[in-house]
Structures are given as C-alpha cells and as structure tokens.
Amino acid sequence: MLLIVGLGNPGPQYEGNRHNIGFRAVEAIASAYRFSPWQAQSKFEAHVSDGQLNTPDGAPVKALLAKPQTYMNDSGRAVAAIMRKHYIAPSDIVVFHDEIDMALGRFRMATGRSAAGHNGIRSIYALASTEVRRARMGVGHPGEKSAVKSAVLADFHPAERPAVDALLKACVDALPLLAAGNDERYQTEVMRLAPAPKSDPRNPSPPKENT
C-alpha cells in the first residue's frame, strides 16, 4: 500500500493558506482518481480516503490518502499511527508539503534530507521515520525569517493562484510515475507540465541590473 499524506492545518480558516497546499494536493488526488469519500478516523487523528492508482504500465497500486487533523506541528502522530496499523514501510510513504525555500510553483522530491525548519516534517521525522519520500511544493519565502510564520499562515495572493493551480494539476496528472516509485521521473514530469522559473524564493523578481 502507498500512503500519501498531505500536510496542513484543519479548519476553514486555514484552507487557502500556503501551509495547506499539502491538503490541497491530496484532495485533488482524491477527486481526480475517484477515491472514497473522506472519513474522519479518530484512531489515526486524520481524515482518510482510499482508492487505487495505476503505474504507467497499468499495474494497480492500492493507496491511502491522509490529512492529519493534529495541526501541522504534530503531524507525525497521525503518520506514525497509520504506518503501524497498516505495516507501511517509509519508502511507501509520500508527504506533500509546502516549501518556503523554493520559489512559487517549483517542485522537488526528496528523501532523508533535513526538515529545514518545517515543523510538520520535523514531527514526522521524530515519530515515524526520516526516510519518508517528500514532495516539496514551492511557495516562496517572505524574505525575513521573522516573517515566515505569518507568511505560511497567509493565503496565496490572487496573482499567485494560477501557478499554484498549475502545480497541483501537474502533481495529479503525473501521479502514475509516483505510484511506480520513480520519484526522479515524477519530479521531471511535474515540472514539465507546470514549468516555473528558477527564481530566488526570497526575491522572485529581482531588479534588472543597470547596463
């Protein structure tokens, strides 16, 4: 079984936040691939949805989607509980989450790297495993460390939403590659489908140099 986790904070007040792009990713997957309706599972402290994906060659892969309801900083509790119940190996867990150290719309897969200050990933590393596969979704950096918390808990600006929607759609459309375990090809295909400039996340539109 493949466990796909989206990180975010529960509650309607957080729905449009940068921090909740992981929730949006798994919601888009559930809709596109006709997974079961979301159900609250108190034993997991999460909302879950199950279904099936297919690899590029048509092989079926059973999958479980999860949205931890513990708030971001305690996401590891839900992931660890599901992991134990279903005997899921870390290599079969993919976590979609926001990444401030990447420009808006950029995308990278990673395994076994530093949590880089992301409290949801830090919790998963502490309570579940450091070897989960991470789908890092760029949301940009506010420029100052002191502004990070308010930035990730703010909604995307209307001008940013087309890039976010394009990234979400690409993540969904390329999913058969992720189901096959080919993270490198999945990353490449997501960026092919939703190209985004390789700008500095702290300064996405630097001023032009004088000539």
CA distance 165 to 102: 16
118 carries an active-site annotation:
no
Checking DSSP bridges between strand 93-99 and strand 2-6, what pairing results, if any? parallel
CA distance 61 to 176: 9
Look up residue 16 and give its DSSP letter: T
Buried b (16+ CB within 10 A) or exposed e, 82-119: bbeeeebebebbbbbbbbbbbbbbbbbbbeeeebeebb
Helices of type H across 33-134: 75-86, 119-127
Contacts of 11 (CB under 8 A, 6+ apart): none
Which residues does the annotation mark as catalytic?
19
